Structure 1
Amino acid sequence: MTPLEELLAERIRRYGPIPFADFMRECLYHPVYGYYSKTELQRLADYYTSVDVHPIFGRLLARKFAEMWEQLERPKEFLLVEAGAGVGRLARHILDFCEATLPDFFAALRYVAVELSASRRKQAAERLERHGRANHLRITQEIPEHVPAGCVFSNELMDALAVHRVVMTAGSFEEVLVGCDHGRFVDVLGPVSTCAINDYFATQGITLHEGQHAEAGLEACDWIAEVGRRIERGFVLTIDYGHRARELFDERHMRGTLLAYQQHRVSEDFYRSPGEQDLTAHVNFTALENWGKRSGLKTTEFTSQTAFLLALGQPNEFADVYDPGQTETDQIRARLQLKTLIHPEGMGERFHVLLQRK
C-alpha cells in the first residue's frame, strides 16, 4: 500500500465515499505523494509528450507567439504564461529560439513558468537560470493575477485536471464515487455531489445513452473561466488530446475516456498504486469554449496539431527543425522526429489546438 493510498483510505473510512475528482486530484497533485510531485524521470518512464520529441515543437510555438505579439500591435511587454511548465524543457526551447531568431519579440517577451510541484520548479530554475538572470523569465506556483497583454498556454495540462465520473441510469445521472472495501478502492454509485455536474451536460446539450459512463471536467471549466478573467488583452492556447462534446460523448465512448498510464502501458485500473501512475481524461474542447465565453474569450481557431504545426512550419520549409552544424544523419533524424509530431498516425491527429482571444 502506497503512503497516499493509506491517507485516502483513512479519509474514506472516516467520512464516507468521495467524488472521483477528489481522488484524482490527490493522486496527481498531493504535494508530497502526488504523481506530479515526482521527479521528471518518473514521467518519462510512463509517457512522453510533444516537447520530448524535438525542439521544433517549441520553436514553432515561438513563431506563433510572435504572431500574437504582432496582432496585439507589439506591446512593450508580452507576458507569455505557460501553465504546467514542469521542469522548464519547453520554456527553454521557446526562449532560446526567440533569443537567437526573433530578437524584436524576445526584447518584449516576459515568460512566466507556472508549476505546482516544488521539486519541478527547482529543476526549472536550474535549467532556465540564464534567462532568469536576464529578467526574461520568472517561475511561480500561480498564474499571474493580471495579464495586460500576452498569452496563457498549456500543453497536455487540461487532460490531467481532475474530473467527476458519472453514469446514466434510468434517465438520470448517478455519480461514481470512490469507496473503500476491505482495504481496496471500489466504485460506489450515489447522487451527484454538486449541481454543477447537471449544468455541465445541460449547457452543452449533451444527453448520455443509458448505461453510458462519462467524465465531467468541472475543474477545467473553472480554470479556463478564471484565466479569461485575468487576461486584459491577449490569447489562450490549449494543446491536448480530446474532442468537441458531440464526438466525446457519442456511442463510441460508452465507457468514458478516463485512463491510467504507467511504464508506457495504458489501463483502466484507476485505483492501482495511487500517486504512482498518471490519470488522464480526454479534453472536452466544447466546454473550454463555452466556459471561456463567460469571461470574454472568443474561439479563433480549432484544428489538429498536424494542421497547426504545418501552417507555422511551411513558410520556411521547416528550416527551424535543423541546428547549425548538423550532420546529414542528424538532419534525417530531425525530419523523422518532426514526422512524429505532424503525421496523422503519430501525434498529429490525436492532439488538437484551441486558440481563444480576448
Structure 2
Amino acid sequence: MFSYLKRLISNSELNLISYAEYIEAVLYHPELGYYMKHKQKIGSQGDFITTSNISDIYGKIIAKWFANVCKENDLEPIFCEIGAGNGRFSHAFLQEWEDSIKTPLKYIIVESSPYHLSLQNELLKPAYTVTQVTRLDELEAFEGMVFSNELFDAMPVHVIEKVNGQLYEVMVGMKNETLYEENVPLTNSSIYTFLEESGLVLKDKQRIEVPLLMEGMVQDISLVLKRGLVVTADYGYTKEDWKQPSRIKGSLRGYYQHQMIHDVLEHPGEMDITTHIHFDWLIQKGKQAELLFHSKLRQDEFLLKAGILKELENHYDPNPFSEVSKRNRAIRSLIMPSGMSSFFHIVIQQKGIKGNLFIE
C-alpha cells in the first residue's frame, strides 16, 4: 500500500492528494484496500463491531417491520441491502422471513467487496435465494426498501480547515516514507457549494469532513427506487451538532483492532476509517432527489416503535447462558439509553408512500 500511495502522491499535481483520494485508496483499492482484502474486519477478531453482529434480533425486527410496511402500503416485498458485510444481518432477516412471514420475497445485496461477497455466499447459500450485484446501477428500478447500515460513514470525504479566517483543504503528502498533512488554500468549487447549501460556517481552527460523494449515492438510490422507503442506519451529526466546541476537530478517525486511532494516516490499508455523516445534508439531498423525509430516530427509539419489546420472553430462566436469556440480554442492550443504539440514528425517507410505517 505504501508503494501505491507513493506513486499516487508523486503523480499528483502538487505531490499532494486530497483526503478523499487517500481514503478511496486505502479502503477501496481493488487489491490493497482495507474493505477489499480477504481479512476479517467485523466482530471480535476484526477491527469494529456493528449492531447486526451483536445479535440476530436486529435483522429479525427489521424483517417483521418491513413486512408490516409492505402490508400497510401495498408495497412489493423487495428488500435491497447496500453493503451487507459478512451477511449476518441478511441471514437473520431471511431466517425470520422464512419462519414467521412466509410470503414471497426478493432480497438484493449490493456489495463491492469480493471478500464480503464470498462470506455472504458461504452463510446464505443454498438455504436462501439472494440476488447479488456489485453496483446499484446493475439493478432494474423496483419498488420496496433500500436499507443500509453504516454505509455513508465509510465513504471517502474531503477535509477542510479554517485558519486565521481563511479556508484550506487538508491534503496528504509523503516524505521519507512517512505520510503527513499539508493545508492548501481551498479551491474546490464543489466544497464551496456544499458549505453554501448546507449553511455550515466554520469557526477559526475548526476542521470538518465534506461528503461530496453522498449526493451521487442518494441520486443513484432514488433512480433505482420507483416507490418505497430508504432506511439509513448510521451515526452522524446535525448542523447544530457540528457547532458544538467538542466537534472542533471534526470526526475523521480509524479503528484498528477495536482501538480508536485519531491519526488516520496510520496503518494504511490495514485499518477501518470512518466519519460521522451530515444528517441534514443527507435529508436535503434526498428531497432534491424525490426522497421525502419521514423521520430521524435514535436507533433504540426506532426499535421500540418497530416492536422490539414484543420479542422479550417473560418467563424466568435461571440459566444465564440459555438461548432465552441471551436473546433477552441482546434486546435490552439494543434499547438501553446508554447502549450502542443511542449513538446511531435511523433516517427514513419515502417515495410515493402515504400509509402507516409504524403500528402503535
TM-score under structure 1 length normalisation: 0.90
Q: Deviations over 1:130-163 (max 9, x none)?
A: 355xxx4111101244332111110111111111
Give 1:76-95 correspondences, 5 Å limit.
78-95=77-94
1:180 match: secondary structure: strand
Q: 1:141, 1:28 → 2: CA distance?
A: 16
Structure-2 residue corresponding to 1:261:
255
Alignment partner of 1:353 out of 331, 336, 346 = 346
Matched, 1:14 2:11: yes
Give 1:241-256 correspondences, 5 Å limit.
241-256=235-250
Give 1:36-185 correspondences, 5 Å limit.
36-39=35-38, 41-44=40-43, 45-75=46-76, 78-104=77-103, 107=104, 109-132=105-128, 136-143=129-136, 144-185=138-179
Structure-2 residue corresponding to 1:5:
2
Structure-1 residue corresponding to 2:184:
190
- Give the Å deviation of 1:39: 3.7
Unaligned ranges ≥5, structure 1? none
Q: 2:350, 2:166 → 1: CA distance?
A: 36
Per mean C-alpha deviation after superposition, the further-off stretch among 326-335 and 7-16 is 326-335
Residues 19, 193 of structure 1: 8 Å contact kept: no
Q: Deviations over 1:313-333 (max 9, x none)?
A: 2563545x99xxx99733222
Q: 1:145, 1:49 → 2: CA distance?
A: 26
2:170 match: secondary structure: strand
- Give the Å deviation of 1:91: 0.7
Residues 304, 350 of structure 1: 8 Å contact kept: yes
- Give the Å deviation of 1:84: 0.5
Residues 9, 17 of structure 2: 8 Å contact kept: yes
Greater helix share, 1 or 2? 1
Residues 200, 216 of structure 1: 8 Å contact kept: yes
Residues 236, 357 of structure 1: 8 Å contact kept: yes
Residues 168, 184 of structure 2: 8 Å contact kept: yes
How many equivalent residue pairs?
A: 343
Give the 3 Å change call, closer, same or farther, for CA 40–332 of structure 1 in structure 2. farther
Residues 154, 274 of structure 2: 8 Å contact kept: yes
1:36 match: secondary structure: coil
Per mean C-alpha deviation after superposition, the further-off stretch among 53-62 and 114-123 is 114-123
Q: 1:13, 1:307 → 2: CA distance?
A: 49
Residues 233, 347 of structure 2: 8 Å contact kept: yes
Q: 1:211, 1:327 → 2: CA distance?
A: 51
Residues 229, 296 of structure 1: 8 Å contact kept: no
Structure-2 residue corresponding to 1:202:
196
Residues 30, 37 of structure 1: 8 Å contact kept: yes
Give the 3 Å change call, closer, same or farther, for CA 74–287 of structure 1 in structure 2. closer
Q: Deviations over 1:265-289 (max 9, x none)?
A: 0021211121100100001111110
Q: 2:131 corresponds to which letter in structure 1?
A: R
Matched, 1:278 2:272: yes
Structure-2 residue corresponding to 1:29:
28
Q: 2:118 corresponds to which letter in structure 1?
A: K
Residues 169, 210 of structure 1: 8 Å contact kept: yes
Structure-1 residue corresponding to 2:357:
none
- Give the Å deviation of 1:245: 2.1
Alignment partner of 2:335 out of 329, 342, 345 = 342
Residues 59, 93 of structure 1: 8 Å contact kept: yes
Q: 2:192, 2:342 → 1: CA distance?
A: 31
Unaligned ranges ≥5, structure 2? 352-360
Identity %: 28
- Give the Å deviation of 1:178: 0.6
- Give the Å deviation of 1:57: 0.3
Q: Deviations over 1:48-76 (max 9, x none)?
A: 1111111100011112211231243143x
- Give the Å deviation of 1:42: 3.4
Q: Deviations over 1:225-277 (max 9, x none)?
A: 22112211111100011122221343220000011100110021211121100
- Give the Å deviation of 1:307: 0.4
Q: What CA RMSD, in Å, does the superposition of the two structures yield over aligned residues? A: 2.0
Residues 75, 144 of structure 2: 8 Å contact kept: no
